[in-house]
Amino acid sequence: MVGEEKMLNSQARTGKMIFQPILEDGVFRFDCSADDRNGAFPTISFENPKVRDTPLANVHTVPTYIPSFECVLGQQMVNLEFPPNTSFYGTGEVSGQLERTGKRIDLQKESNVKLISAAPYPVITFGPFASPTDVLVSFSRAVGTVFMPPKWALGYHQCRWSYLSDARVREIAKTFREKNLPCDVIWMDIDYMDGFRCFTFDKERFSDPKSLVADLHQNGFKAIWMLDPGIKSEKGYFVYDSGSERDIWIQTADGKPFIGDVWPGPCAFPDFTQSSARSWWAHLVKEFISNGVDGIWNDMNEPAVFKTVTKTMPESNIHRGDEELGGVQKHSHYHNVYGMLMARSTYEGMKLANEQKRPFVLTRAGFVGSQRYAATWTGDNLSTWEHLHMSISMVVQLGLSGQPLSGPDIGGFAGNATPKLFGRWMGVGSMFPFCRGHSEMDTIDHEPWSFGEECEEVCRLALKRRYRLLPHIYTLFYMAHTRGIPVATPTFFADPKDLELRTQENSFLLGPLLIYASTGQDQELYEMQHKLPKGVWLSFDFEDSHPDLPALYLQGGSIIPASPPYQHVGEANLTDDLSLLVALDEAGKAVGFLFEDNGDGYEYTRGGYLLTTYVAERQSSLVTVKVLKTEGSWKRPNRRLHVKILLGKGAMIDEWGIDGEILQVPIPSESEVSDLVMAGEKQLKTRIESATRIPDVENVSGHKGTELSRTPVEIKSGDWSLKVVPWIGGRIISMEHLPSKTQWLHSRVEINGYEEYSGMEHRSAGCSEEYSVIERDLEQAGEVESLQLEGDIGGGLILERQIYIPKDNLKSVRIDSCIVARKVGAGSGGFSRLVCLRVHPTFNLLHPTETYVSFTAIDGSVNEAWPESGEQVFEGGLRPNGEWRLVDKCLGLALVNRFSISQVHKCRIHWGTGNVNLELRSEDRPVSKESPLKVSHEYEVIAIP
């Protein structure tokens, strides 16, 4: 009995976690037991791993909340409950909404977080602190701050998969300069290599990389080149041979080097968990840099493996990791940190090559701590308005998760942007910490001049804005690198108590600078109400306001620096004119900072820099602007200072002086200031109204000669009359049951109704893409009618739908949907990205308190779900057994939804205000041409007793 009891206790334990204060005041480590604490794996996230495992001496503070836990069969589940109205953010690189409360990632339950791990791990909490910024500063002291980027890396980057020759690269560079479009970097994707072999160059198309880079440098450009972890398994290839000699490859479970297909074909993969492998890679990078390489792009480092459903290597593979990282472990243990360790090795190799230059590395895969070595982009997004809108939240989420240097592929990677979409995206993207345009092969050109003169001019204005604000952005990165102060933050950071700001997704902050954007196709920025934080917020521009550019506001009490709009960072000189934009607070005061150094190298770590604190104060009719203090050994450059006192509505008062000397700016009387503001508002209005807008051109022509109009397509036959909107997601916006005269589904054209999605994100591809009418058949009026639609959702995927009234049952309407792979990328092994077909209809509730959902589950249980039950998800044997009903007791009717249970992996009910969503979800998996995802279902109205 004793043995049995001991075994049961090892399988199931519950209770409150034990805690220790670590690192600094307000930071706690929680473990399920002392044994779990002593047996925990080492941390890779902490900059100094020892501090996680070392309790603070003589500190006896107690956390405000202690999480509870449950351990079952070795799995640890931790539950954290928070007060009502708690909002959740961060969670890494995620798509969807900014505010994560109630979303997936174990935040489904309000004010509750659940953390699940396969083995006992400590939980580290930071705070509560006085402000969200204080939380991130404390967090950064644990996981490390962002590397200090070279200043050129904060300019604009131009990339494509791929510029296929050095001649094309030179042409791109030349065009940027001829068209007066600022740009600092051009990227070389995988096709520059010899047969996709890393550390090689194609002998014909990139025969002389040193000469190419020399030409780029002469014209003010840097060059960044891609390196992947997959090394072609080929004897005679120097990288493979040297790696094999050193025995640094990841192994299979039986101890042999793992070989998986990637771009070059069969590949071996360096085991970056070993210091020997990291050193080997770093020295390869060191030699690679001698070709004139300015930066390195680590792609495919999840690690990606083709011709597998999981798109990565088997979890049973073996890593022979260093003891301080966790020792010998299966790939499942190290998978999430593989990309980070590769980026670290690349970063260290670049430092070996030249200690006088700061490395710049971009990584696709990352983990907490990656910011110490590399920037991150938000992955292969789509050229859609939803992904433009989502890019703000994704950049902000990464910042909240410890990665300040991030940005999306401006214009979208997959699919063809339209002129308006591209221009609008450039307007927003030019304000992100990392600013790069990138598009995939087989799309139209996506350079700023590729969409007509109107779009080109908007891009020019946007990029000039970025370069004017580079002194401010560079200063923010110095603060992030040295102190952990975040760069881009949600708008609510300016007023955390304002609950309305917590879900604000159209704006974000760069320090005290608020960027307010329009991210909807039919959304006009200057017709929107701009929800601002409390306090003084003064709008301004550089005489460049445009309907497709964001609006800029400066917080009262702030000063930010600005410069002339250079073509590239190398054009700037310390003696150039410096501008200070000043926004006084209610007390008539303001403060701001400017960090200056060489823009590269590490002299700043030895005092070789100038950090200036400027202050402004109004006394009577004068505003005095002066230097309050300085840091660093640099002498102040001899330059002119242009001070601009913002008044709001684009109005300002300016004065010239000498930087470092006290400057006094006369302030007009209140009536004169009022006149200036009115004049500024009028000028802004005139500028907006007279701006040459980007034409909203969309290709709306269908296939087989069918032309799509902006009139919904009507299907009327049997018991049903439906209206379908092909040009926005193929959405069904009306579903009327004729015998009962009941409108079960009714929506606005742009939202709700019957929608379909291609992923688990809040609004993923499929819900708004333009659908083409492939075929419309009317066999006999009043008997059978069918409508076939398809929409390109990017990445070689098509979402197809057929809506029809079948001959064998005129009382029903049937919908057959599938995600098919038409043209999956060559390197994917025939598989797409991970997709999920989500049938997402939102039905009206005519009688909300008398309506419910009923069904019999596969396991035989009978279920009723009412509005007060909230959101419910049914999986496995709890799924409806092929049918569920939306019952209206007042009408005496039920809308029956029948479906194939073999195609439906989950069913979801979500109650809204006056509506309910009954969602059918397929499994999550990649698809190939031979394995589409399908969901077929039908609706019928029946009478109930």
Residue numbers annotated as active site: 299, 302, 380
Pairing mode, if any, of strands 361-363 and 295-298? parallel
Q: What phi, psi does 103 have (nearest 5°)? A: -95, 180
Q: Rounded distance, CA 738 to CA 760, Å?
A: 34
Q: Which class for 58: exposed (0-12), middle (13-18), buried (19 or more C-beta within 10 A)?
A: exposed
Residue with tokens 């929608």: 755
Cα gap 597→635, rounded to integer Å: 11
Q: What does residue 32 show for φ and ψ, rounded to 5 degrees?
A: -75, -25
CB 299 within 8 A of CB 364: yes
The answer to whether the beta carbons of residues 281 and 334 sit under 8 Å apart is no
Quick check: helix, strand or coil at residue 119? coil
Peptide bond into 848 cis (omega under 30): no
Give the tokens for residue 605: 């770590």
Task: Using DSSP bridges, classify how beta strands 409-410 and 375-377 pair: parallel, antiparallel or unpaired.
Answer: unpaired
| Local structure of 597: helix, strand or coil | coil
**Helix (DSSP H) and strand (DSSP E) numbers for the chain:** 14, 52
DSSP assignment letter at 42: P
Task: In whole angstroms, give the CA distance from residue 653 to residue 664.
Answer: 12
**Distance from C-alpha of 260 to C-alpha of 254, rounded to nearest angstrom:** 15
How far, in Å, CA of 220 to CA of 177, rounded?
A: 9
Please check whether residue 79 is in contact with residue 85, taking contact to mean a CB–CB distance below 8 angstroms: no
3-state SS class at 413: coil
Signed CA dihedral, 284, 288, 290, 296: sign only: negative
Exposure b/e, 699-711, CB count within 10 A at least 16 = b: eeebeeeeebeee
> Three-state SS string across 143-189, please?
HCCCCCCCHHHHCEEECCCCCCCHHHHHHHHHHHHHCCCCCCEEEEC
Q: Do 485 and 133 touch, CB atoms closer than 8 A?
A: yes
Tokens 């209140």 found at: 670
CB neighbour list of residue 206: distance below 8 Å, 6 or more residues apart: 165, 166, 188, 192, 212
Please classify residue 329 by burial: count the beta carbons closer than 10 Å to its beta carbon, then call 0-12 exposed, 13-18 middle and 19+ buried. Answer: middle
Of 750, 740, 814, residue with least CA distance to 784: 814
Exposure string (b/e) for 351-363, b if CB count within 10 Å is 16 or more? bbbeeeebbbbbb
Cβ atoms within 10 Å, residue 94: 21
Question: Could you tell me which residues are beta bridge partners of residue 227?
Answer: 298
For the chain, how many residues are written? 945
What is the sign of the dihedral through the CA atoms of 22, 23, 24 and 29?
A: negative
CB 749 within 8 A of CB 728: yes
CA atoms within 13 A on the CB side of 771: 29
Chain centroid to CA 532 = 23
Residues 107 and 80: their CA atoms lie apart, in Å, by 10
